[in-house]
Structure 1
Amino acid sequence: MRLSDFDFDLPEGLIATRPARPRTAARLLVAQGARMTDATVADLPQFLRAGDLLVLNDTRVIPARLNGTRGRATPQGEVSARIEITLMEPAPDGAWRALAKPLRKLRAGDRLHFAGRLSAMVEAIGEGDVTLRFDAEGEAFDAALAAVGAMPLPPYIAALRAPDEQDREDYQTVWARAPGAVAAPTASLHFDEALLTRLAGMGVGLAHVTLHVGAGTFLPVKTDDVSQHRMHAERGIVTPQAAAAIAGAKAEGRRVIAVGTTALRLIETAAAAGKIGPFDGSTDIFIRPGFRFHVADGLMTNFHLPRSTLMMLVSALMGPDRIRAIYAHAIAARYRFFSYGDASLLLPGVPC
């Protein structure tokens, strides 16, 4: 398939820059089989049934965006420049891979300073990224990062407004537990404790997995032949307990519904051999039309960017023609798109 097969025109006014309040007030487009229903996230229990299992990503977003200065010694003295850093992932030796703007201003050996609380040495310049060694580690690093870092809003939001303190709450799920993500599992942002209580009361189960979403999720697809695209790798964990809960639901014929594409990608990685099991490692799974799903019976997800791998994923689940109709309806009905936008519940089976 070609990249243009996943393109569509989106009015800029439909890009959400703030979430709905309360969280469950966001709109929810339910697509089951050939039927579409306009609802809100608060209505989610109406479309689920006792025995359904929701799979949730419990990663926690770190304040990974840093604004600082570069210092470089020259014969004339130290020369400085403004630098923006977005942390991507830690290396086993404690260094960090990061995106830098502007990358061309950096060289190995440069020292970066962030608000007087944190500094780092540029160890290496890669193809599109840098390797940084910070002057703090462990709890000291976490505390400094919390003090000087900002939530790493996606580029399409950051282009419209700067991140602020409200984003520290808005861009985090209510069940966030394991620090390490530099982007939120955004479908999960629509849940609050009251909704979770309602779902539990009607017999809907929850299984928690962890996929640390990386900054690579925002990178564009640059190959016209989508089969030539190379996915970024992200670290994920499916515990034995989560794997057993998911396997039990499948064995009993109960629906497994992933909340977010990150959760879906992880459970399908853990079931690559056809049956889900525990997993702890990196995944670069690329789900596109033609993919055979082993676990997911449905997906709750936000509305995605045109020409993105996430558009390819939802097209794989629902079928390309069906997803084009769903997105045409969403645009005509003025649903809000992307990370702070509205949600869809995609159920490819026959309506019950």
Structure 2
Amino acid sequence: MGIREAGTNEFVQKIREINKPLFLKILATMHPKHLSITEFSYDLDPERIAKYPLEERDASKLLVYKSGTVTTSTYKQVAEFLPEETLLIFNNTKVVEARLLFQKPTGGVIEIFCLEPGDQYKDITSAMLQKGKASWKCLVGGASKWKHGMKLQKQVNENGVNFILEASIAGRLPDCFIIDLSWKPEEVSFAEILHIAGFIPLPPYLHRSAEEDDKNRYQTIYAKQDGSVAAPTAGLHFTDEVFERLAAKNIRHDFVTLHVGAGTFKPVKAETMDEHEMHAEFIEVAAEAVERLINYVDKTVVAVGTTSLRTIESLYWMGVKVLHEPAIEVDDIVISQWDPYELEHFGIEVKDALKALFYWMIKKGLNKIITKTQILIAPGYQLKIAKGIITNFHQPQSTLLLLVAAIVGEEWKRIYQYAMDNDFRFLSYGDGCLLWNDSK
């Protein structure tokens, strides 16, 4: 029985009202396929959405939840709420200028939003390094005005160099177009072309165009790997001073890469999660990062952001796949939406799974693993590696809110109400929270 059905069932509703521990136990054992997103909603006052970042990154407020207690601090003091020998995991992806605007000879504007590289590229990094031409899956604004066979052209002068970018439609998929892009000078990489000719794609809920300051503020200070169309926003609050305070307390950090796709903003329209297809995203994780996680599993691992959490939790399930099928190939180690719930019965210890993955990588001669994950973390999921998360406040009825509920249970409602009552700023440029998983 799903949550939606439970809400209409008189008996289960009574349990929910008079025996909360029993209801939460039922919730924890329920398969997320049966969850209804309508149970994960709240009234978000538009005035609470931060349209611009604060002047100082680490001045953003930090809500801290642990063992039923909620307190308020700032990101500058985050080290005070983490035990010594904690390992923080950050996502070092970099937001690319994925919005390209082309003006037709008649004056109309067509927008091309680069989502992800074509299937011929093994990963985003290699696609970003293409020179002269590339093929990308894109959303197209004004597609009805783009006549078949028409080639769009855009010219940009940068530091005295004239760049010419052309675009044509190569094909159409159910939810996007395949766009062939070519440019001159040909020795320039696609990443450089985007930087020269494109615009930062701010989240749609900000309802404003990107400004000059967004080029810096919509990136973490440690962003390195080109490929995201949205920032891993929990990391936006970290500064050099915060990292110095963490180091002084012997709190270490490491990086993984998950290239955030536009699917992160994809609304859940299905009645139950069984009918919602989670977006798949590229991840890259070095063997050294897997080895460090092995050393910290018995200590404290905290993910900075939902993308970091999804990445390291996916590593566990990859290890389970390796133990179940030692000869598995790289192409088959992708984590699908429901893998965690279908592989759970193997009951593999976390350290055993990570060791299996690490030695499999060594055997395959892989200094890093590059694959995709479609993992859905929702109530019913038990965290394997992380003991907590640092994250922003997320939209109602989103898969990100499901992830939060998987960590803190029904307490998410009280946490979010506290944030609303205490003037916290919401979404990408807003404040954030440190949430501990009480069951770990």
How high is the TM-score relative to the length of structure 2?
Answer: 0.74
- Which residue of the partner structure matches residue 82 of structure 1? 109
Q: 1:300 aligns with which of 390, 409, 432?
A: 390
Q: 1:13 aligns with which of 29, 44, 47?
A: 47
Taking the aligned partners of 2:72 and 2:299, their CA distance within structure 1 comes to 25
**Number of aligned positions between the proteins:** 339
Shift of residue 83, structure 1, vs aligned partner: 1.2
Indicate conservation of the 8 Å contact 1:30/1:39, yes or no: yes
Shift of residue 219, structure 1, vs aligned partner: 1.2
- Which residue of the partner structure matches residue 334 of structure 1? 423
After superposition, give the CA deviation of every residue in 1:209-231 in whole Å (9 maximum; x if it has no partner). Answer: 01011111111111011232111
- Which residue of the partner structure matches residue 267 of structure 1? 312
Taking the aligned partners of 1:265 and 1:103, their CA distance within structure 2 comes to 34
Counterparts of 1:65-214 in structure 2, within 5 Å, are: 65-70=99-104, 81-91=108-118, 92=120, 94-106=134-146, 108-116=148-156, 117-136=164-183, 139-157=188-206, 159=207, 161-214=208-261
Taking the aligned partners of 1:269 and 1:32, their CA distance within structure 2 comes to 25
Taking the aligned partners of 1:289 and 1:144, their CA distance within structure 2 comes to 42
Shift of residue 144, structure 1, vs aligned partner: 2.6
Is 1:215 aligned with 2:256? no
Taking the aligned partners of 1:175 and 1:101, their CA distance within structure 2 comes to 32
* More RCO (CA 8 Å, sep 6+): 1
Could you tell me which amino acid in structure 2 is paired with residue 178 of structure 1? Q
Taking the aligned partners of 1:242 and 1:102, their CA distance within structure 2 comes to 43
- Which residue of the partner structure matches residue 64 of structure 2? 30
Could you tell me which amino acid in structure 1 is paired with residue 51 of structure 2? T
Could you tell me which amino acid in structure 1 is paired with residue 418 of structure 2? H
After superposition, give the CA deviation of every residue in 1:92-149 in whole Å (9 maximum; x if it has no partner). Answer: 3531111111344345533233345422111112222111111136734333321221
Mark the structure with the bigger radius of gyration.
Answer: 2
- CA RMSD of the aligned region, Å? 1.8
SS of the residue corresponding to residue 349 of structure 1 reads coil
Shift of residue 349, structure 1, vs aligned partner: 2.5
Could you tell me which amino acid in structure 2 is paired with residue 343 of structure 1? G
Shift of residue 80, structure 1, vs aligned partner: 6.0
- Which residue of the partner structure matches residue 336 of structure 2? none
Distance 1:24 1:345, change over 3 A: same
Taking the aligned partners of 2:187 and 2:271, their CA distance within structure 1 comes to 42
Could you tell me which amino acid in structure 2 is paired with residue 111 of structure 1? K
SS of the residue corresponding to residue 242 of structure 1 reads helix
- Which has the larger share of helix? 2
SS of the residue corresponding to residue 97 of structure 2 reads coil
- Which residue of the partner structure matches residue 282 of structure 1? 372
Could you tell me which amino acid in structure 1 is paired with residue 434 of structure 2? L
Could you tell me which amino acid in structure 1 is paired with residue 113 of structure 2? T
- Which residue of the partner structure matches residue 47 of structure 1? 81
SS of the residue corresponding to residue 38 of structure 2 reads helix
Shift of residue 174, structure 1, vs aligned partner: 0.7
Taking the aligned partners of 1:294 and 1:162, their CA distance within structure 2 comes to 39
Indicate conservation of the 8 Å contact 1:299/1:346, yes or no: yes
Q: Which range moved further: 48-57 or 112-121?
A: 112-121
Distance 1:70 1:223, change over 3 A: farther
Indicate conservation of the 8 Å contact 2:283/2:370, yes or no: yes
Shift of residue 290, structure 1, vs aligned partner: 0.4
Indicate conservation of the 8 Å contact 1:68/1:115, yes or no: no
Could you tell me which amino acid in structure 2 is paired with residue 83 of structure 1? I
Percentage of pairs with the same residue: 37
Counterparts of 1:52-67 in structure 2, within 5 Å, are: 52-67=86-101
Distance 1:223 1:140, change over 3 A: same
Question: Which runs of no fewer than 5 residues in structure 1 stay unpaired?
Answer: 72-78
Shift of residue 197, structure 1, vs aligned partner: 1.4
Taking the aligned partners of 1:57 and 1:29, their CA distance within structure 2 comes to 21
Counterparts of 1:221-232 in structure 2, within 5 Å, are: 221-232=268-279
- Which residue of the partner structure matches residue 76 of structure 1? none
Q: 1:241 aligns with which of 283, 288, 294?
A: 288
Taking the aligned partners of 2:380 and 2:439, their CA distance within structure 1 comes to 20
Q: Which range moved further: 339-348 or 91-100?
A: 91-100
Taking the aligned partners of 1:12 and 1:98, their CA distance within structure 2 comes to 29
After superposition, give the CA deviation of every residue in 1:141-192 in whole Å (9 maximum; x if it has no partner). Answer: 33332122111100001x1x21011100001111111111111000000001
Distance 1:138 1:12, change over 3 A: farther
Shift of residue 85, structure 1, vs aligned partner: 1.8
Could you tell me which amino acid in structure 2 is paired with residue 95 of structure 1? S
Is 1:311 aligned with 2:401? yes
Shift of residue 280, structure 1, vs aligned partner: 2.0
- Which residue of the partner structure matches residue 75 of structure 1? none
SS of the residue corresponding to residue 255 of structure 2 reads strand
